[in-house]
Amino acid sequence: MSSIYVELISPEKVVYAMDANSVIVPGTEGEFGVLPGHAPFISTIKPGVVRVETLDGQIEKVFVTAGFAEVHNTKCRLLVDKAEMLQDIDRKEVEKHIQEANEILTYTTDEDGKARAAKELALAQAKIQALDAFGG
């Protein structure tokens, strides 16, 4: 069976760079899967879980924030703002962020602060959804 080279890159580091059987990406227009020989395209990525099936059949799960996907015949490059292995996400810490963001939204009058809190709340809720859907 042929493979596809998957690169998952954030500003901090190269999270993933290796051959894989397939990858599933949370696109802004819906999830999409990439197999070897896929038609070239570019898509935006929304917060969610990238699932990479390794050559030995294991599924690697990485939570990503917004970004871009570039797909070619034998390569899938994912450029994201942030990425962390799903198993490394601490549910209690995320729940704490949700509580803090809700408090800011409730009690602050600063519009910039509210906007930042709303963004943090949406990201934390996406992490909880990812943990619920994919384990953790």
Say how far apart CA 4 and CA 124 lie, in whole Å: 31
- Say what the pTM is: 0.89
Instruction: Show the domain range for 18.
Output: 4-86
Q: State the total domains in the chain.
A: 2
Q: For position 22, what pLDDT does the model report?
A: 97
Give, for all 136 residues of the chain, the pLDDT tens digit: 699 999 999 999 999 999 999 999 999 999 999 999 999 999 999 999 999 999 999 999 999 999 999 999 899 999 999 999 999 999 999 999 999 999 988 988 889 989 999 999 999 999 999 999 987 5
Q: For position 38, what pLDDT does the model report?
A: 92
Residues 101 and 46 in one domain: no
Neighbours of 45 (CB within 10 A): 21
Q: For position 108, what pLDDT does the model report?
A: 86
| CATH code of residue 75 | 2.60.15.10
Residues 56 and 70 in one domain: yes
Say how far apart CA 30 and CA 3 lie, in whole Å: 23
Q: For position 109, what pLDDT does the model report?
A: 87
- Are 77 and 69 a contacting pair, CB within 8 Å? yes
Residues 48 and 66 in one domain: yes
Residues 117 and 51 in one domain: no
- Do the bridges between strand 4-9 and strand 67-71 make them parallel or antiparallel, or are there none, so unpaired? unpaired
